[in-house]
Amino acid sequence: MSYQWKDNIACKAVYETMSRQDRMNQFDKNLVPFAKAGNYKIADLKYFPRAGDIDERKAAAHGFCDGFLEYLLSDYSVTWEVSGEDIKQIVQEIVDLLSTADKTLTDLAALLDSKFKYADE
Amino acid sequence: MKCIPITLLMSLAVVSPLTMAADDKPIINLKPVMIESKELNTTTLGLKYEIKDTYHFGGKPTATTTEGQTVTFGDIKEATHGGNGYVGFDANGTWTVDKADNPTSTSTAALKAGYHNFQGNFSLDTGLDYKLEGDQDYSEKNSMYGLFLDSYYSFTRDRSTYVIMGLGYDKIDAAEDSGRTALTTTDTYDRFSVDLLLKYSLEKLNKKKYGITSLELKYSYYEEVDAPAAIVNANLDTFNSRTFVINFNRGLYVAYSSGNLPFDKQNDRVFQIGFDQNLFD
């Protein structure tokens, strides 16, 4: 069964980190309420370079991913979900997702939830 | 009077592209586009493709996860900031059934070997590449090898205002470019290129439903070094293209492109309006 966008810590963490003005500041919470944010596309995030080619999207996504993870990990208490995974490869998976126009915040929450165990889960 | 052809390209934004992307696996992006040429009075379906595969080597020893261990940004930084070598392949272009209907037909395929260094809000790539650059089926093409230097720098905390710049210097063999060989017997030459992407995002978010969120400018410039007079006179010594994008809230965007790259048709204006499903939420 595919991952569902719902009122849990994994989805809330993505939503808050993306939307808070003092975090990644990607969209206005009034225009994109939490209940509808699961379908929000990566291409519609403020940082996404629509005119960019694949290398440019990757470069922008890598920089963005770095800032996103810095805020998320400072705001939420997280442990690794499984042992033995290459940390660099995990980040690369997140970068790949953040450089893919038609992925959504639900896809991002699902990927992070498969790698991170949140303290309140 | 010179007639300036205008091409309207409407992206089929409501059609989901086929996308496969995973770590260290090939990335294949296929996106259908509808290309409408006002000059030719034709509408044709095109397929925009991007393929990329990269293998990284060197750099820091692999850091692995431990179940239950707290994840800190320091762990992430330690594992991902720094340099490594890589070799890779990429290809991109737009394919149409009849290539005469394709105004943006310049396609490229490249093998690259280089060094990548990532420092969070800054990254640098440099190395050597071998490329083919041609029309959509490479029946007309240049082959080339050269040096590249690509960089990314973000100016803001939210990493949403940044500049990406690529510089290249290539030695080109144009023996299979009939447009050029008809004009000159000099079929090898050097070329300098610049690619620039500027992204400016509003710090204070626009609260209007369709307010502007960000602006983008992409500019490419190619110049042949010491071009023969016949090439200069035919205006084939330099090429440039620019795309300007205005992004609005709720997935609406407007893009305008002009100029042309070496194997594009002379139709030199492309206007694109796109939207994602967010518009209807």
Which of A22, A39, A55 should be substituted to probe chain B, the one whose Cβ sees the most B Cβ atoms within 10 Å?
A: A55
**CATH number, domain containing residue B195:** 2.40.160.40
pLDDT tens for each residue of chain B, 281 residues long: 333 333 333 443 333 333 333 345 688 888 887 766 656 666 778 888 999 999 989 988 889 999 999 999 999 999 999 999 999 999 999 888 877 777 667 899 999 999 999 999 999 999 999 999 998 889 999 999 999 999 999 999 999 999 999 999 999 999 999 989 999 999 999 999 999 999 999 877 767 778 899 999 999 999 999 999 999 999 899 999 999 999 998 888 888 888 888 877 555 556 666 665 444 44
Nearest to B245 among A51, A66, A87 (CB): A51
> Does the structure show a pLDDT above 60 at A30?
yes
Nearest to A93 among B23, B76, B278 (CB): B23
Residues B123-150: b if buried by 16+ CB within 10 A, e if exposed: bbbebebebbbbbbebebbbbbebebeb
Read off φ and ψ for residue B123, nearest 5 degrees: -145, 160
Q: What type of residue sits at position B107?
A: S
Bridge pairing between strands B238-248 and B212-224:
antiparallel
- Give this prediction's pTM: 0.89
- The answer to whether B160 contacts A28, with C-beta atoms less than 8 Å apart, is no
Q: What type of residue sits at position B183?
A: L
- The answer to whether B23 contacts A50, with C-beta atoms less than 8 Å apart, is no
Q: Which residues of A touch B85 (CB under 8 A)?
A: none
Domain ranges of chain A: 9-115
pLDDT digits (tens, 9 = 90+) for B29-61: 888 877 666 566 667 788 889 999 999 899 888
Any CB–CB contact under 8 A between A119 and chain B? no
Could you tell me which residue, A63 or B33, shows the higher pLDDT? A63
Nearest to B75 among A24, A67, A87 (CB): A87
Measured between CA atoms, the residue of chain A closest to residue B69 is A79
| CA–CA separation, A75 and A90 (whole Å) | 20
CB B27 within 8 A of CB B21: yes
- The answer to whether B218 contacts A52, with C-beta atoms less than 8 Å apart, is yes
How many helices and strands in chain B, by DSSP H and E?
3, 14
Number of domains making up chain B: 1
Q: Which domain holds residue B35?
A: 6-278
Nearest to A59 among B152, B245, B247 (CB): B152
CB B71 within 8 A of CB A78: yes
| CA–CA separation, B276 and B253 (whole Å) | 9
| CA–CA separation, A92 and A106 (whole Å) | 18
- The answer to whether A50 contacts B62, with C-beta atoms less than 8 Å apart, is no
Q: What's the complex ipTM?
A: 0.96
Q: Which residues of B touch A24 (CB under 8 A)?
A: 158-160
Q: Which residues of A touch B63 (CB under 8 A)?
A: 86-88
- The answer to whether B76 contacts A66, with C-beta atoms less than 8 Å apart, is yes
Q: Where are the beta strands (DSSP E) in A47-121?
A: 78-80, 116-118
* Residue B1 within any structural domain of the chain: no
pLDDT digits (tens, 9 = 90+) for B73-87: 999 999 999 999 999
